[in-house]
Amino acid sequence: MPSTRSGPLTGEESSALVLFSGGQDSTTCLAWALSRYQRVETIGFDYGQRHAVEMEVREPVRQRIAGLSAEWSRKLGPDRVVSLDALGQVSISALTADLPMEKRPDGLPSTFVPGRNLVFLTFAAITAYQRGLKYVVAGVCETDFSGYPDCRDDTVKALQVAINLGMESRLVLETPLMWIDKADTWRLAERLGGQGLVDLIVEETHTCYLGDREHRHAWGVGCGTCDACRLRAGGWSRFRG
Amino acid sequence: MPSTRSGPLTGEESSALVLFSGGQDSTTCLAWALSRYQRVETIGFDYGQRHAVEMEVREPVRQRIAGLSAEWSRKLGPDRVVSLDALGQVSISALTADLPMEKRPDGLPSTFVPGRNLVFLTFAAITAYQRGLKYVVAGVCETDFSGYPDCRDDTVKALQVAINLGMESRLVLETPLMWIDKADTWRLAERLGGQGLVDLIVEETHTCYLGDREHRHAWGVGCGTCDACRLRAGGWSRFRG
C-alpha cells in the first residue's frame, strides 16, 4: 500500500489510533489526527492513582472536541481504556516492597516505571493492528521532557521497526509534538481548532501531577506549582505573551 | 562495562532473568542460564486459560531444577508472575466482542494476540532493568514456529535496540533456542543437566495446548495429538531415535 505524504490519504491508509490521556498534549494530538485522517479512534491506559483524574476528563474532552466540527464528529470513532495493573507489578515499589506508595519529590507516583511508554506504544500498536488503523499517534516530546528516554525520537523509531517486524505490519508511529515546545503546542492547537480548541484545552484537559481540579487559571486547571503546571503555564505565557 | 563472551562473566554482568513458562523450551533456557550466569531469576506471565496448567508446574520445575546441583540451587533467585489481563483486553475477541472465548482450530485460545511476545519481552526487560539483571533469556525459536513473527531473530534484535534506547540501558536479549529444532533442544538439555534434567523435563514440564496432564508418554505429559505435543514427540523421536 504505497502512500506519499504529499497527497491526501484515503481508506484504510487514512485511519489512526491516538494515545489519549485527557491532557493538553494528547488532546492536541487528537485534534491533529482528526484534521488529517478519515477515521480516528482513541486509547488510554489506566494504571495508577494520578491518572484517575485524567481518566475522568477523557470523555468530556472527546465529546467537546467532536462538537467543534461536524467533520471531526463524523471521523471520531470509539474510545477504549486498557487496565495496565501489570505496570504496578513490575514497578520498583512493587518489586522491592520497601518504597511507600506516595509521590516522589518530582511529583511522579512511586510506581513510575522506566520504559512505560514502550509498553503503551506496543499495546497501542497491537490494538491499531487489530482494528485496521494504520497510524499510531502519541504526544511524546523531546523538547520539554528530556528526562524520559522512552519519549525520545530514537526510541520511537526503533520501536516502530521492532513492532512492524513482530507483527508483520506496516504501522506508523506519529509524534507530532516531538520537536516543539509547550508554546508551540498551544499554537498548534489554535491552528488546528481555533479559539474553540484552545478554550477546550484550557477548561477540560488535565495536566496537574497533584490531580488538582479546583484552581482555575488562564492556562487551565491545576495546582499551579507542580512541574507539569509550571510547564503548561510557561508555554501559555510565551503563546499569549 | 565491557565484556567479552570468551571470558567468564562476573558480578552484575553475570546475572539473568529467564522468561519461564514451565514448558520444555523455557525450562531448557533456565538450565542454560544457570550453567552460564551467577545469578538467575525467573518471570512468568499469566493472561489466559491455557496457561493455568503451565502456571501450576512452574514451582515444581524450579524446585527440581535447583535440586539437580548445589551450584544451580545457589544461583537460582526469586520467581515472579505478572498478570497481563491487558492482553485479553486488546485481543481480537475482546475488541470485537463477537468471537467465542474458545479454542481456535490451531489450538490457540481465541484471545491470542499478535505481538504478544513484544509485550512479554518488554515487561521482562523492564523487570530485569529494575532488578539489576543484565541478560534477558527467552526460549523463542524460528525453527519450528515460523508462524509467529514476534519470535523471529530480527524482531528480537530490533526490540533490544528499542528497549535499550527507551531505558538508557545495556540489556541483552538472549535466545539460545533461536536456531535449533526440538531434537536439538532435548540434546541441549542433556548436555546442560544430564539425564536428570531430561527426566525433569519429561515428567514436570508442560507443553500441551489442551492442558492435558493425564496421559504420560516417553516424551512427556499431554494429549499427544495437538500441534505442541506432536512437535515435542517428534523432537524426542529424533533425539532418542
Give the pLDDT confidence of B23-40 residue by residue, as tens digits: 999 999 999 999 999 999
A to B CB pairs, distance under 8 Å? 136
CB contact under 8 A, B89 and A95: no
Burial B207-216 (b: 16+ CB within 10 A, else e): bbbbbbeeee
The C-alpha of B195 sits at a distance from chain A's nearest C-alpha, in angstroms, of 35
Strand (E) or helix (H) holding A18: strand A15-19
CB atoms B119 and A126 under 8 Å: yes
Residue B86: predicted pLDDT: 84
What tens digit of pLDDT does each residue of B163-221 get? 999 999 999 999 999 999 999 999 999 999 999 999 999 999 998 888 898 999 999 99
pLDDT for the residue A5: 47
Tens-place pLDDT, residues A99-140: 444 444 454 555 567 899 999 999 999 999 999 999 999 999
Domains in chain A, start-ordered, CATH in brackets? 11-207 (3.40.50.620)
Quote the cell numbers at residue A186: 498551544
Does A75 score more than 90 pLDDT? yes
Q: What are the angstrom distances between the C-alpha of B13 and each of A138, A187, A211, B187?
A: 35, 48, 41, 27
CB distance from B119 to chain A under 8 Å? Answer: yes
Interchain contact B94–A (C-beta under 8 A): no
Q: Which of A13-22, B6-15, B73-82, B84-93 has the lowest mean pLDDT?
A: B6-15
The residue to which cell 491552528 is assigned: A191
| pLDDT grade for A224, boundaries at 50, 70 and 90 | very high
Q: What is the pTM of this model?
A: 0.88
**pLDDT at residue B9 greater than cutoff 70:** no
B residues 151-210 lying closer than 8 A (beta carbon) to A:
152, 154-155, 158-159, 161-163, 165-169
* Record: contact A167-B115, CB cut-off 8 A: yes
Q: Which residue has the higher pLDDT, B89 or A230?
A: A230
User: Residue B92's pLDDT band (boundaries 50, 70, 90)?
Assistant: low
Whether B49 has a pLDDT exceeding 70, the answer reads no
DSSP conformational letter for A144: S
To probe the interface with A, which of B87, B111, B155, B171 has the most A CB atoms within 10 Å? B155
Which of the four pLDDT bands, split at 50, 70 and 90, describes residue A32?
very high
Containing H/E element for A78?
strand A76-83
What's the CA gap between A221 and A235, in Å, rounded? 14
pLDDT above 70 as % of chain B: 83
Q: Do B114 and A165 touch (CB under 8 A)?
A: no
